[in-house]
Amino acid sequence: MSPAFLLYKEKPLKLHDALPMNWEKLFRPRSIAVVGASTKVGMNINMFFPGLVDAGFPGSLYPVNRHAEEILGYRAYPSVRAIPGPVDYVIISVPREHVPEVLDDCVYKGVSVAHIFTAGFGETKTSEGMHLQERIREAIRNRIRLIGPNCVGVYCPGSGIAYMPGQSRTAGDVGFVSQSGGHTSLFVENATSQGLYFSAAVSVGNSLDLGINDFFEYLSADPGTSVIGVYVEGMTGEQGRRFFELVRNTTPRKPVMIMKAGRSESGARAAASHTGSMAGTYSLWASMAAQANAVLVNDYTEMTDFIWAYKCLKGLPGTRAGVVCGGGGNAVWCGDTLGAGGFTLPPLSPETQKSILEFTDAVGTIAQNPVDPNFSMFDPQAHIRVLTTLDAQSDIDFLLNVGVFDFLYHHTIPTGLLSREQLIRDSADRLSQLRKSVRKPFAAAAIQVSENPDIYDILKQIRLRAREEGVPCYASLERMTAALRRLHTYSAGLNGKAS
Amino acid sequence: MSPAFLLYKEKPLKLHDALPMNWEKLFRPRSIAVVGASTKVGMNINMFFPGLVDAGFPGSLYPVNRHAEEILGYRAYPSVRAIPGPVDYVIISVPREHVPEVLDDCVYKGVSVAHIFTAGFGETKTSEGMHLQERIREAIRNRIRLIGPNCVGVYCPGSGIAYMPGQSRTAGDVGFVSQSGGHTSLFVENATSQGLYFSAAVSVGNSLDLGINDFFEYLSADPGTSVIGVYVEGMTGEQGRRFFELVRNTTPRKPVMIMKAGRSESGARAAASHTGSMAGTYSLWASMAAQANAVLVNDYTEMTDFIWAYKCLKGLPGTRAGVVCGGGGNAVWCGDTLGAGGFTLPPLSPETQKSILEFTDAVGTIAQNPVDPNFSMFDPQAHIRVLTTLDAQSDIDFLLNVGVFDFLYHHTIPTGLLSREQLIRDSADRLSQLRKSVRKPFAAAAIQVSENPDIYDILKQIRLRAREEGVPCYASLERMTAALRRLHTYSAGLNGKAS
């Protein structure tokens, strides 16, 4: 490991000599207190309490606020000490100078885990911030495990834990751990809007105690998590070594996606301003990720795209695609985009070409790869036979169907030829039928070229339904290509082959 | 010029010794006949006649159909000969074997320009197709100028010419010429949905007579066209030389965007199947494009994105960006994406940092570049002052504002805090105010991370309004970065500087 992993800060003294983490108290707490719960609503206020209420937390919820009797129908308490029952987990969102005394109350009360949302500590690099952070350290040493400070903490819908209202209550198998609360929110938003749900998503902030590696280790062992995403700004050398050891041990069982900040100098400098992390050399991270068979992504959309490819296909055995695509110009565009992503489109054998022309409208059909069946694409039987013919050609590894929907939309919806629901159902059903008709891995793109919001909504629903039917379906050729490329690399890595 | 430009087909004999093109007859015809106009409606039928009716063509329209008395309220004629008045322009959509006799009728009638939609000629490489194409050539030699065969022809909304119903009737200053009818339709769809309108868009098909170069020359000279897009699959050496000569002479006056098929081997092979073109070596095209200061794009979305950057900013003097972006993680993402696109984000001077912290909420604000003003971004005065502070720093060339809207949406629309119209108006107004407050070029990204269709619609409208106010506003960081990069390269080329 190179010195690029070295951190800005001194290696901290070990915080807890003898205080093992009890994950049950964090991810399945019987009771949660929110210190600093607000009686107001709005954007720039504490959203943890309304978040927990909205998420339907099934245990005991205690808002703590010196000036309130009741918040959202829950009895409020002036302090953690004043709460009558036991408290497993406390979320702290009060001005920074009050944080140490709240922690003292937590210790008194026997709280297991505290999460500090409040910012203004070590990351400010001011003497006051550093001093307060040291006081926190002393308050919790060997007494309380800590998330933060300076982070949004935990989203765990299966246990009714959300950090703001409106987060999905549906639980799933995606795990995420992040050095940015913003990215945590955005990835949760991005993924849930595309039908992916979470076992847990955690933002770690300054990581005074629990950090990326602790949560990663938990998610790696968690049987309810089948894929893990990580957003990292920077790590110390020791943290980095441990991280890649954990990743290497995880990827044979579940894929790990890493979004690493600091691809460029400007990004690295912004990361330093954000969490005080030195980003390290990106190329070093990329090479460590490749060695550990982790999937490197540039943003959370790419995470979501990869997860769907993985969930539907598990792996992609080769790089040779057989493609069905409506429109000659579109077929060329497909070839170029897939080619730029490292895939090839083998020429079709004369027998395959002849066979395709037999059951499609010969004038207008391009019996090459991509096949453009022209209007025969609207005939379900011809469409399926084109795909099964490609399925039979031995030098093709996987199959794709690409549809640009603007034209179909204009000729069916405004004209009343189909209802929106019919168009959605027919299109998703067709993709499902295509998948069931072939043996090779099958993916699709359902694309719009205009910015028509109605088409957007229809295609979103087509893609969601297709994915439920096992077809990873994408909004653009680029996104489909990138997701499949990452899946191929991951599966080649699993089989011990460099891709 | 390299042999890579060589074409598959023999160099054709010169078709017309003495028949200059009369562009008026094509782009401002007094009368149009559509041969093969259908009495039916649906997807796989002739849409030219309903297209012209829908586009509001102001001259005389003549549907030609042997078996109809009337089509869409217009009297139908059994042949072009039978039409009573003069006919400038004829669109032919009949089975291929009837095309030569229709052309004979056109000659008899004194038609100036014919467009053949029908496919099945030279591009099939069959003896029957080649033979029919030869008959077409003989029929029109020195008598009629021809578009096609095998193409959708002309969209010219200013003259009421569209090739299918539903195309925008609004005229504009974007010109487009293409070797794919599908791409023509898709680019028109993409651009008009984003508020860009056309002087003319033409698909040339097999180019038996008029080809890319002819239409390009027209658009280059046309005072109503201020930017030109071209989609090319392939050209002969002679065509290629002429093309780049035309491009080189055009770019000092108006930008030329080229989407070139054949970036990959698979794309090149698909292009050969589509229009019979040999794609030529992509790297050669790229280098010719660079020498001619043309803007190379990968798809029509990139064309639309570039055009908006050009229309709003005209040029981009340097690569050093000053960025305002809400959210620490987002700021890092901005730095990385802009950095990957070849831009830098200069560090802020201590004075600039100090100044920014004076009028923003210091806890939570990151006074670096990107500046994350945190919740101060919701305060118009603070927001404007942050941007004007960046404007004043001398080593910054241009300014950007990046907003991720999902969070703002969830806290304003479902809660009733703002109406949709208020959110749209306030956001677009803010971008307009920001632009008016600074001297340096200013662009923006208005991003969503979820696939929420309501946010999609709102952001689309914000972007449209911002562009009307002179702010090129994009749906993603990647699209903003790519468009600005291309604009910088174009303006550096104009000033004789390599970028």
A369–B263 CB contact, under 8 Å: no
Residue B159 lies in a domain: no
Structure tokens at B373: 């003003």
Taking CA atoms, B335 is separated from A257, A264, A481, B44, B87, in Å, by: 21, 7, 25, 48, 59
Does residue B51 share a domain with residue B200? Answer: no
Does residue A174 share a domain with residue A128? Answer: no
Residue A3 lies in a domain: no
Mutate: best of A285, A333, A460, A461, partner B, most B CBs <10 A? A333
Does residue A242 share a domain with residue A339? Answer: no
Phi, psi of B418 (to 5 degrees): -135, 155
A470 half-sphere exposure, CB direction, 13 A CA radius: 12
Does residue B348 share a domain with residue B275? Answer: no
Q: What is the pLDDT of residues A319-359, one digit of tens each?
A: 999 999 988 788 889 999 999 999 999 999 998 999 888 88
A186–B335 CB contact, under 8 Å: no
Minimum distance, in Å, between the CA of residue A94 and any CA atom of chain B:
13
| Separation CA A356–CA A483 (nearest Å) | 29
Strand partners, A371: A324, A367
Query: Looking at chain A, which residue has its C-alpha nearest residue B342?
Result: A264
Name chain A contacts of B231, Cβ cutoff 8 Å. Answer: 329
Domain count, chain A: 3
In the sheet where A113-116 sits, what is the strand order? Answer: A60-64, A31-35, A89-92, A113-116, A145-147
| Separation CA A50–CA A60 (nearest Å) | 14
Taking the mean position of all CA atoms in its chain, how far away is CA B207?
A: 21
Residue B2 lies in a domain: no
How many beta-carbon contacts under 8 Å exist across A and B? 243
- Contact assessment for residue B141 and residue B15, using Cβ atoms and an 8 Å cutoff: yes
Does residue B375 share a domain with residue B474? Answer: yes
Residue A308 lies in a domain: no
| Separation CA A139–CA B184 (nearest Å) | 68
Name chain A contacts of B449, Cβ cutoff 8 Å. Answer: 186-187, 189-190, 300-301
- CATH (domain of A111): 3.40.50.720
A332–B451 CB contact, under 8 Å: no
The DSSP bridge pattern shows strands B113-116 and B145-147 to be parallel
Name chain B contacts of A335, Cβ cutoff 8 Å. Answer: 264, 266-271
Residue B400 lies in a domain: yes
Average confidence (pLDDT) per 10 residues, chain B, 499 residues: 36 69 95 93 76 96 95 96 96 96 96 95 88 94 94 97 94 96 93 97 94 97 98 90 96 97 83 63 90 96 98 96 90 93 94 87 78 86 94 96 92 91 97 98 96 96 97 97 98 77
Q: What is the pLDDT of residue A278?
A: 56
Query: Looking at chain A, which residue has its C-alpha nearest residue B44?
Result: A375
- Contact assessment for residue A288 and residue A250, using Cβ atoms and an 8 Å cutoff: no
The DSSP bridge pattern shows strands B256-260 and B198-203 to be unpaired
Name chain B contacts of A268, Cβ cutoff 8 Å. Answer: 335
Q: What is the pLDDT of residues A274-322, one digit of tens each?
A: 665 555 688 889 999 999 999 999 999 999 999 999 999 999 999 999 9
Mutate: best of B190, B332, B477, partner A, most A CBs <10 A? B332
Minimum distance, in Å, between the CA of residue A347 and any CA atom of chain B:
8
* Cα A53–Cα A56–Cα A59 angle in degrees, nearest 5: 90
Does residue B321 share a domain with residue B268? Answer: no
A185–B339 CB contact, under 8 Å: no
- Contact assessment for residue B262 and residue B279, using Cβ atoms and an 8 Å cutoff: yes
Of residues B274, B415, B457, nearest to A366 (C-beta)? B274
Q: In A363-496, which residue ranges form alpha helices assigned H by DSSP?
A: 380-392, 406-412, 420-437, 453-468, 477-494
Residue % of chain A over a pLDDT of 70:
93
B457–A452 CB contact, under 8 Å: no
3-state secondary structure (DSSP) of residue B52: helix
| Separation CA B404–CA B325 (nearest Å) | 8
Q: What is the pLDDT of residue B277?
A: 59
Minimum distance, in Å, between the CA of residue A300 and any CA atom of chain B:
8
Does residue B387 share a domain with residue B266? Answer: no
Nearest to B148 by CA among B199, B82, B195, B102: B102
3-state secondary structure (DSSP) of residue A114: strand
Of residues B180, B270, B369, nearest to A368 (C-beta)? B270
Phi, psi of A87 (to 5 degrees): -125, 120
Name chain A contacts of B364, Cβ cutoff 8 Å. Answer: 119
Does residue A319 share a domain with residue A200? Answer: no
Name chain B contacts of A267, Cβ cutoff 8 Å. Answer: 332-337, 339
Domain-ending residue, one of B267, B298, B329? B298
- Contact assessment for residue A277 and residue A7, using Cβ atoms and an 8 Å cutoff: yes
Does residue B146 share a domain with residue B48? Answer: yes
Residue A156 lies in a domain: no
Minimum distance, in Å, between the CA of residue A179 and any CA atom of chain B:
8
pLDDT category at A365 given cuts 50, 70, 90 is confident
Taking CA atoms, B373 is separated from A264, B361, B402, in Å, by: 22, 7, 11
Name chain B contacts of A414, Cβ cutoff 8 Å. Answer: 166
Residue A31 lies in a domain: yes
pLDDT category at A9 given cuts 50, 70, 90 is very low
How crowded is residue B170: how many other Cβ atoms within 10 Å of its Cβ? 12
Does residue A229 share a domain with residue A189? Answer: yes
Mean pLDDT score across all residues of chain A: 91
A228 half-sphere exposure, CB direction, 13 A CA radius: 31
| Separation CA A3–CA B197 (nearest Å) | 55
Name chain B contacts of A264, Cβ cutoff 8 Å. Answer: 335-336, 338-340
Query: Looking at chain B, which residue has its C-alpha nearest residue A124?
Result: B363
B329–A180 CB contact, under 8 Å: yes
pLDDT category at A499 given cuts 50, 70, 90 is very low
- What do you get for the CA distance between the two ends of chain A, in Å? 24
Of residues A194, A301, A340, nearest to B263 (C-beta)? A340
Q: What is the pLDDT of residue A407?
A: 85
Of residues B44, B179, B450, nearest to A375 (C-beta)? B44
3-state secondary structure (DSSP) of residue A237: helix
Lowest mean pLDDT across A35-49, A202-216, A473-487: A35-49
Domain-ending residue, one of A151, A182, A208? A151
Contacts (Cβ under 8 Å, ≥6 apart) of B128: none
| Separation CA B46–CA B39 (nearest Å) | 9
Name chain A contacts of B96, Cβ cutoff 8 Å. Answer: 363
Tell me the residue range of the domain where B368 lies.
314-494
Q: Which amino acid is at B95?
A: P
- CATH (domain of A190): 3.40.50.261
The DSSP bridge pattern shows strands A70-71 and A74-75 to be antiparallel
Q: What is the dihedral of CA B444, B449, B453, B458, to 10 degrees?
A: -20
3-state secondary structure (DSSP) of residue B30: coil
Q: In A251-327, which residue ranges form alpha helices assigned H by DSSP?
A: 265-275, 282-291, 300-313
| Separation CA A66–CA A62 (nearest Å) | 13
Of residues B180, B186, B274, nearest to A404 (C-beta)? B186
Of residues A262, A328, A370, nearest to B336 (C-beta)? A262
Residue A161 lies in a domain: no
Does residue B231 share a domain with residue B370? Answer: no
Domain-ending residue, one of A121, A151, A181? A151
Contacts (Cβ under 8 Å, ≥6 apart) of A488: A315, A316, A318, A319, A499
Does residue A86 share a domain with residue A207? Answer: no
- Contact assessment for residue A201 and residue A155, using Cβ atoms and an 8 Å cutoff: yes
- Contact assessment for residue A200 and residue A29, using Cβ atoms and an 8 Å cutoff: no
Q: What is the pLDDT of residue A262?
A: 87
Query: Looking at chain B, which residue has its C-alpha nearest residue A279?
Result: B332
Query: Looking at chain B, which residue has its C-alpha nearest residue A179?
Result: B329
